[in-house]
Chains A and B, each alone.
Chain A
């Protein structure tokens, strides 16, 4: 990618996020609530994409890190009375350490491909079961956050719809920017080398083991931060909804449909998937039809993987690029 196209995409991203920041002025609260979800899933997607899209390690256990971040933050605030910022940090550190441990265990013993994926599932499920049987965090009965006291939203991190919208918007901007920086760095090139052919990368001196572990740590910590904010937003935590298998799968749908291994993919995917989910969920509830949203989700995923194997974004991006270049030359 040359400088001109990089600048073009950078400009596009800035314009996009500027519009997003302006939206609360003109839209209603209910739309902001949906946009909050979109930004949240975009951010989770970015975190997962870092590991899968750029390093080629498929994790189906990212719900574990959402849950760890969520519980770390909630317990720090609710039980120990600490600042939520500290809780977020604690969660991120715990998740990074757990992620590093899982990755080290797996990669150290040359657990690769689908076996690694199954390891991530097993560890995540083990985590969920432990939380379900751990009375300190409420177990199956759940853990609930009290309503915030009258402090500044930036101190308590509790606020209204618009506040959380901006939280997740900022997170996804940081996620976008951070991913862009990482993949343009030396590290990013090494990661992609590992993704394309690990043995070849190792042969030319890329230290694959530690770079893969690093990718898992960053991805886990990012996911955890998103989980912390989600806990503050929802106020109630259950092991099954916070770190269950279903959450792990839900967060990977947006980046897959949007386009793995691309910067815009997770965001585009979230914009595509979340409204459909919201509408079909709403329709299902108002008409008493269960399973419609699950079915639509499944059909969508199937269509994308069969007809658009790279996701929605790459073909669109190609067209935009061609159009931009054509415009410049004519």
Chain B
């Protein structure tokens, strides 16, 4: 019995780290540009399809596909930001929402056109491998996924902290006008930020492609998942995304075991509503005003 719970919790932590990467993409875009990417789940699904396609055509396992997926998704984010989102930075929130709903529908539509509504799964033998670690039985895909996600998160934090572009992005996040005044090209920094945010979503998608069956309508759930995590952790907080992701990963796994797999999302929504009411800025968020 003990080992069952330990296994479930460990599995939850591992998937939670990948969730954290999804949420990180959302939170970094919000933190820097105050833009809420409502098409985030769709971009995760795009990453899943990239993983699926590379496995199908070139027989590359999703973990190996991550670098390529990251580059592709970075470009997607960069282009979207330059082409569309930059015009909406100063528009009201609802206009931004509508922009992203439009984008989300377009991406889902393209997914449907290209791949159809059927679920696609990666039936690679490596998807079923398990490892025995400290007496726990862990899925190889989850273990690799979490490891890659952790590396991505660490690289991202180092980039934001120590690189000059990273400092410039932080400056633009703190004070847009000031950043412009000292000669930073804010629009370009925003595009890099969006590229990073979308790359996070895409890489996470590629990592979960062997775990969940890929289908276009998964996007809505993933968007909501990202929002739940970010709200619990605090909008714009990188630490919050990490803690929130693991929290939701574990609570989903435990709820699926204890109550009913269909009800696992209910628990997350309940948690989110609680946080919204009691601490709207999230666990790690800074109160605005």
Q: Show the binding face of A for B, using Cβ within 8 Å.
A: 52, 56, 58, 60, 105-106, 109-111, 113-115, 117-119, 121-123, 125-126, 129-130, 132-133, 245-246, 249, 256, 289-302, 305-306, 309
Contacts and interface: CB of A to CB of B under 8 A. Distances in A.
A291 B108 contact: yes
Interface stretch (B8-16, B89-97, B143-151, B179-187): B89-97
Contacts of B224: 121, 125, 245
B26 to A, nearest CB: 12
A64 to B, nearest CB: 12
A118 B223 CA distance: 11
Given A125-B265, A132-B262, A58 B93 contact: yes
Interface in B108-134: 108-113, 116-117
Give the dominant DSSP class at A's interface. helix
A292 B98 CA distance: 19
B273 A122 contact: yes
Given A290-B116, A305-B99, 7 more contacts: A115-B280, A125-B265, A246-B220, A290-B117, A294-B106, A298-B102, A305-B95
Interface string B247-289: 0000000000000101101100110110011101000000000
B157 interface: no
A6 B101 CA distance: 34
Contacts of B110: 291, 295
A298 B94 contact: no
A122 B272 contact: yes
A290 B112 contact: yes
Contacts of B103: 298, 302
30 contacts: A58-B97, A106-B276, A113-B93, A115-B231, A118-B231, A118-B272, A119-B276, A125-B224, A129-B262, A129-B266, A133-B263, A246-B220, A249-B101, A289-B113, A290-B116, A291-B109, A292-B112, A294-B106, A294-B112, A295-B105, A296-B109, A297-B105, A298-B102, A298-B103, A301-B102, A302-B99, A302-B102, A302-B106, A305-B99, A306-B99
B195 to A, nearest CB: 20
Nearest to B92: A56
A203 B277 CA distance: 25
B105 A114 contact: no
B36 interface: yes
Contacts, number: 123
B78 interface: no
Nearest to A253: B101
Contacts of A125: 224, 265, 269
Nearest to B106: A298
A129 B105 CA distance: 23
Contacts of A296: 109
Contacts of A299: 102, 106
B220 to A, nearest CB: 5
Contacts of A133: 260, 262-263
B105 A298 contact: yes
A123 B274 CA distance: 11
Contacts of B97: 58, 60, 114, 117
In this complex, the interface size class of chain B, counting residues with CB under 8 Å from chain A, is 35 or more
A106 B224 CA distance: 18
Contacts of B104: 298
A295 B94 contact: no
B269 A126 contact: yes
Given A301-B105, A309-B95, A291 B112 contact: yes
B25 interface: no
Contacts of B260: 133
Given A114-B36, A249-B101, A305-B95, A130 B273 contact: no
B217 to A, nearest CB: 8
Contacts of B109: 291-298
Contacts of B266: 126, 129-130
A118 B98 CA distance: 14
B269 A114 contact: no
B105 A294 contact: yes
B55 interface: no
5 nearest interchain CB pairs? A291-B112, A295-B109, A298-B105, A298-B106, A301-B102
B102 A111 contact: no
Contacts of A123: 273
A133 B231 CA distance: 26
Nearest to A293: B109
Contacts of B62: none
